[in-house]
Amino acid sequence: MEKELEFIKIKNAAMSYSEYLSIIDGLLLQGKTTGEDQSLAHVEKAPLNRQRMKRLDKTAIVSEELKSHIDQLPIPISFLILTEGWCGDASQSIPYIHKMVVESKGKLMDFYLLRDENLALMNQFLTDGSKAIPKVIAFHSETGDFLFSWGSRPKEIQSWYMNLKKDISLSKEELSLQLHQYYTNDKGQKLQEDFIELFNKISSVL
């Protein structure tokens, strides 16, 4: 019961996808972004990230294979998603996750939390000791039981990127450019492969 109540409390404090986008848009009008860090590096990324999300909201496609796995889920699942408007990885992945939810026929729900306002939760789901986002925390929608976490990147993209970083001749800007080109070419396939694997595990044990 304690787990369930904690989940309900967190979920009730979270935002819908449209509310999350509204906060980003409001801050962009002020020349700001979400989070405590209002450095130029973060603020300059935010408009491009928002434009990317607008494009992906229109063009993202959920594969028939993933839809089939969602249909076969034996339980309803809620995603708590830790994110920020300046995060490039979030802008590449979240539209696909939301599209997955929209097309799930009610099997999935998504709720959004700003990382910097929820560090206690973030610290429970670090990636190699880092507060990397986006981070998806999946719970049973009715019991509140924890199911799995995902992020901050699709597994295959993360593995590719870590190998790319070994090339010391590449600047931070060049690394970022190649990363986002990979996302663009991939069109959400690696992310969807991750979720097919995660959903398959749930279906096989419940």
pLDDT the model gives residue 133: 98
Mark 28-46 as b/e (b = at least 16 C-beta within 10 Å): beeebbbbeeeeeebbebb
pLDDT in tens, 72-96: 999 999 999 999 999 999 999 999 9
pLDDT the model gives residue 173: 93
Helix (H) or strand (E) holding 149: strand 146-151
Q: What are 34-37's contacts with CB under 8 Å, separation 24+? A: 34/84, 34/85, 34/86, 34/114, 34/116, 35/84, 35/85, 35/86, 35/114, 35/115, 35/116, 36/116, 37/86, 37/116
Domain chopping of the chain, boundaries: 2-205
**Phi and psi torsions of 91, nearest 5°:** -65, -25
Mark the ranges of the chain whose per-residue pLDDT is less than 70.
1-5, 206
pLDDT in tens, 130-157: 999 999 999 999 888 999 999 999 999 9
pTM recorded for the entire structure: 0.94
Interaxial angle between packed helices 88-102 and 17-29, expressed in degrees from 0 to 180 and rounded to the nearest 10:
150
pLDDT the model gives residue 2: 47
Helix (H) or strand (E) holding 136: strand 135-140
CATH topology of domain 2-205: Glutaredoxin (3.40.30)
Reading the block at residue 182, the tokens are: 């990979």
Reading the block at residue 63, the tokens are: 């594969």
